Amino acid sequence: MNLDQFRAKCAALPGATRDIKWQTREVWSVAGKMFAVLSLDSGHLAVKVGKDRFLELTDRPGVSPAPYLARHGWIALDNTHTLPATELAALINTSWRLVRDKLPAKVRHTLPLPDQSQ
């Protein structure tokens, strides 16, 4: 997955917004809560994963616990090509869903679940 595909994938998710934080981080959020972070200077990418996948994924080359966020279930990838495009797209969907599921019910119900084929 290239950067344009990554951005298109994030932008296609319901309620997704893009912001630049900390001068060099492109942050994708839903209802103000981060679900993906792209480092503009290094190309590193971070997403939230389920606890059941955290150890499995961080054992793979190019994937590590995300600095400052690992205790909350975030992983860091060396770049958008570290994993196959379909797997990365699924992880982005999962990250969005995990964040969405923690939102207040009133907000959560305004955000439909994305089509898994996106």
Strand partners, 93: none
Q: Determine contact, residues 63/76, Cβ cutoff 8 Å.
A: yes
pTM of the model: 0.90
Owner of token pair 């809560």:
33
In a domain, 28, yes or no: yes
Structural domain that includes position 15 = 3-103
Helices 3-11 and 85-101 sit at what angle, rounded to 10 degrees?
30
**Number of domains observed in the structure of the chain:** 1
The answer to the question of residue 115 being in a domain is no
In order along its 118 residues, the chain shows pLDDT tens digits of 999 999 999 999 999 999 999 899 999 999 999 999 999 999 899 999 999 999 999 999 999 999 999 999 999 999 989 999 999 999 999 999 999 999 999 998 888 776 654 4
CATH code for position 36: 3.90.1150.30
C-beta separation of 21 from 27 below 8 A: yes
